[in-house]
Amino acid sequence: MAASLRCFLRSGKRAVLVAVRRGIHSSSPAAVQVTVRDALNQAMDEELERDERVFLLGEEVAQYDGAYKVSRGLWKKYGDKRIIDTPISEMGFTGIAVGAAMAGLRPICEFMTFNFSMQAIDQVINSAAKTYYMSAGLQAVPIVFRGPNGSSAGVAAQHSQCFAAWYAHCPGLKVVSPWNSEDARGLLKAAIRDDNPVVFLENELMYGVPFEVSDESLSKDFTIPIGKAKVERQGSHITLVSHSRFVGHCLDAAAVLAKEGVDCEVINLRTIRPLDVECIEGSVMKTNHLVTVEGGWPQFGVGAEICARIMEGPAFNFLDAPVTRVTGVDIPMPYAKILEENSIPQVKDIIFSVKKTLNV
Amino acid sequence: MLTNISNVLRTCAQRNGAAAVVSARTYSDFTTQATFEIKKCDVFKLDEAPATQVVMTRDEGLQYYRTMQTMRRMELKADQLYKQKIIRGFCHLYDGQEACAVGIEASINLKDHLITAYRAHGYTLTRGGTVKEIMAELTGRRGGIAKGKGGSMHMYCKNFYGGNGIVGAQVPLGAGVALACKYKGTDELCVCLYGDGAANQGQIFETYNMAALWKLPLIFICENNRYGMGTSVERAAASTDYFKRGEFIPGLRVDGMDILCVREATRFAADHCRSGKGPILMELQTYRYHGHSMSDPGVSYRTREEIQEVRSKSDPISLLKDRLLSNNMASVEELKEIDVEVRKEIEDAAQFATTDPEPPLDELCNHIFSNSPPVEVRGTNPWTKLKSLS
């Protein structure tokens, strides 16, 4: 079933979809489930087809089908010219990708994980992000840097860092962090179509997770605007703001808290930079309480920025309590399972923080 | 021809109307082209080498002279303006190396691509920038080639990707441009320059590997001016045979002070690339008269005698001038005329560069993103909200 779903989704034939829908219920549509991996794969496939200038490069993206199989089937379909396996040379191939973007192509540069992007971070910041400004608009850099970010499972300290705060610090970059399949699809298509450098932070643990996606999102021109957050759950007592995998944790926490009479509003940031402050402010002005949840370290992080922005804006006067940040523990990621589990926010940590903030 | 007539008339006028018999030299007196014997290049992993007998026409000679002289005077004027504190920050001058920029451009065309590091004013000129917009960029005015936003190290124009401040970073970028040329199926190539200091950067070796692997149409050019800032090549590199450092990439070592050597080697290299053979590496042995930048007097790590020796024996403009004169391809007066014109062009440009207004403050935040709707940018405090347009 999954294979046939993948088949018709990839070919974009919606007729079969309609048939499935009619076949099962005449009243309600069957849910189309797509994993985050497949959503990313389809988005890239469609954009490669749509625009000849788009190409993918990175380690193992072609013949291996992608280290995490995100680019499965693309090399077979598009060949060596459009899907390029690189040697293990991050600084070199990232620079090559940026140069290709400067010369008019639209590269997707994959980092096997964002930890390895540190080797190439000069090319991302100094060659990509700053160039449009330095050239006073003469030289654009339409490039997407994508790959898994943040903690995984048992990969230890050098492979578990979250780079959202590092990249979001820099003007000239757009930084995007999808949570579910619809986010992944819409934001990746938007990122590829954007004429600017976009850092696209995926999450390895989310790749295999299936989500229901709307019919609308399956259209080849479906994009999600970069810079707009989404309210995933409406609520009135407290606002939870998160990005990537922890949006799911927030929703789980909200479900538990609902049974205890605490009504949480959950915001999925979708984009880290530019931050959708208005969405957060609007929510805080309604709920009067705010908890931020992220996987990254606390100091100088996403939550820290949200706190500062709330203080500087109209929502501050609506706060009944200081903003609470729920973050990863301020240590390099340990290996042992029990240690790793206790290094990142768990649902119970979010529940605890909500109750403390609400003083219940 | 008109120059010659005016020379004659001027000479007559100077002699107060006395019957001055000055032999009028008309254009037909000049040799229209001549063949020159140039130094043979050292080669690496190549069966052939660039030609050692080359032809230069009078027109070419005059054009090279004019361009090199313009470049020279432009850099010297920048030196002056820097000392007057009208130019600030970094200023890395190119005087002494003119034969490299002009020689390279002589064998490629404006549809080809070029990228270099921070000693970039000369290349901005050969790639199509005007002296006026280069100088105004140095002085940070709105008429600058990057509207005053970039400065000395960040000048751009069509098919010229700067001007790059991070040592070595421009090399993978250049390979990316070459990849785009190959991808698009054009016969364009990319010339990618770096210095003897940058030659030890790891990312350059990563680029050698990928360029060779993918047969990119890329000419790597190492401008070896003997010093990376204050460090001589002997103190920086285990192997100073920069033309061999590409290991599996064919290389040439070229006399970078002789414009005809540079031109011929570039022609050879361009043919190599355009015939699909992949990348090639040229080392240009050259010299900078100034220190590394305007904050470096340039005499703590080398002797004044050395600088003087290069100036007297190997100056690229003098070498060309001698060739033109001794082969009867131009007259002293003609070259002086060019000097006068160049001086005027530089003066006018400097005048513009010092009087043009600075960029308007309300454009501070523009050009963050391309093709995007206007956004708000935080100023230095939360109440200051600035506007950013594409």
Pairwise CB contact (< 8 Å): A87 & B202: no
Shortest distance between the Cα of A239 and any Cα of chain B, in A, equals 23
Catalytic residue (choose from A46, A59, A90, A202): A90
- What is the spatial distance between Cα A268 and Cα A251, in angstroms, rounded to a whole number? 10
Please give the pLDDT value at position B29. Answer: 85
Nearest-CB residue to B203 (from A92, A126, A134):
A92
DSSP notation for B200-241: G-HHHHHHHHHHHHTT--EEEEEEE-SEETTEEHHHH-S---
B184 is written with which tokens? 């698009």
Give me the domains of chain B, ranges plus CATH numbers: 33-359 (3.40.50.970), 363-389 (no CATH)
Pairwise CB contact (< 8 Å): A98 & B368: no
Please give the pLDDT value at position B1. Answer: 52
Q: How confident is the model at residue B24 (pLDDT cuts 50, 70, 90)?
A: low
Pairwise CB contact (< 8 Å): B375 & A274: yes
Please give the pLDDT value at position B12. Answer: 45
Collapsed DSSP state (helix, strand, coil) of residue A62: coil
Q: What one-letter code names the amino acid at A112?
A: M
Nearest to B173 by CA among A117, A93, A80, A108: A93
Question: Once rounded to an integer, what is the mean pLDDT over residues B172-193?
Answer: 98
- What is the spatial distance between Cα A188 and Cα A40, in angstroms, rounded to a whole number? 7
CA B270, distance to chain mean position in Å, is 17
Shortest distance between the Cα of A67 and any Cα of chain B, in A, equals 20
ipTM for the whole complex: 0.92
Q: What one-letter code names the amino acid at A317?
A: N
Please give the pLDDT value at position A134. Answer: 98
CA distances from B241 to B140, B246, B247, B256 (A): 39, 10, 11, 15
CA distances from A183 to A19, A224, A283 (A): 26, 7, 21
The per-residue pLDDT string of chain A (360 residues; one tens digit each, 9 = 90 and over) reads 444 444 444 444 444 444 444 444 445 555 699 999 999 999 999 999 999 999 999 999 999 999 999 999 999 999 999 999 999 999 999 999 999 999 999 999 999 999 999 999 999 999 999 999 999 999 999 999 999 999 999 999 999 999 999 999 999 999 999 999 999 999 999 999 999 999 999 999 999 999 999 999 999 999 999 999 999 999 999 999 999 999 999 999 999 999 999 999 999 999 999 999 999 999 999 999 999 999 999 999 999 999 999 999 999 999 999 999 999 999 999 999 999 999 999 999 999 999 999 999
Please give the pLDDT value at position A29. Answer: 58
Q: State the number of CA atoms in the 13 A half-sphere of B5 facing the CB.
A: 2
* Tens digit of each residue's pLDDT (9 = 90 or more) over B248-257: 999 999 999 9
Pairwise CB contact (< 8 Å): A99 & B146: no
Question: Once rounded to an integer, what is the mean pLDDT over residues B158-175?
Answer: 97
B188 is written with which tokens? 């364009």
Q: What one-letter code names the amino acid at B248?
A: F
Please give the pLDDT value at position B27. Answer: 60
Tell me how crowded residue B13 is: count the other CB atoms within 10 A of its CB.
Answer: 10
Residues of chain A contacting residue B206, judged by C-beta atoms under 8 Å apart: 87, 89, 91-93
Pairwise CB contact (< 8 Å): B176 & A98: yes
Q: Cβ contacts of residue B35 below 8 Å, gap of 6+?
A: B53, B54, B55
Mutation target to probe the A interface, by most A beta carbons within 10 A, among B191, B218, B368, B388 is B368
Question: Once rounded to an integer, what is the mean pLDDT over residues B265-294?
Answer: 98
Count residue pairs from A and B with Cβ separation < 8 A: 152
DSSP state of A318: G
- Evaluate whether B283 touches B246 at the Cβ level (below 8 Å): no
- Cα angle: A218, vertex A223, A228; to 5 degrees: 130
To the query of whether residue A159 is one of the catalytic residues in this protein, the response is: yes
Pairwise CB contact (< 8 Å): B177 & A134: no
Nearest-CB residue to B149 (from A93, A104, A133):
A133
- What is the spatial distance between Cα A332 and Cα A157, in angstroms, rounded to a whole number? 5
Question: Once rounded to an integer, what is the mean pLDDT over residues B85-93?
Answer: 97
DSSP state of B298: S
Nearest-CB residue to A122 (from B148, B166, B372):
B166
Please give the pLDDT value at position A24. Answer: 44
Shortest distance between the Cα of A113 and any Cα of chain B, in A, equals 19
Shortest distance between the Cα of A97 and any Cα of chain B, in A, equals 6
Q: Kindly report the average pLDDT of chain B as a whole number.
A: 94
Greatest CA separation for chain A: 60
- What is the spatial distance between Cα B72 and Cα B93, in angstroms, rounded to a whole number? 9
Pairwise CB contact (< 8 Å): A92 & B161: no
Residues of chain B contacting residue A62, judged by C-beta atoms under 8 Å apart: none
Over 90: is that where the pLDDT of B279 sits?
A: yes
Pairwise CB contact (< 8 Å): A137 & B367: yes
- Evaluate whether A328 touches A162 at the Cβ level (below 8 Å): yes
Please give the pLDDT value at position B11. Answer: 47
Q: State the number of CA atoms in the 13 A half-sphere of A328 facing the CB.
A: 29
Q: How confident is the model at residue B15 (pLDDT cuts 50, 70, 90)?
A: very low
Q: State the number of CA atoms in the 13 A half-sphere of A318 facing the CB.
A: 19
Residues of chain A contacting residue B179, judged by C-beta atoms under 8 Å apart: 96, 99-100, 103, 105
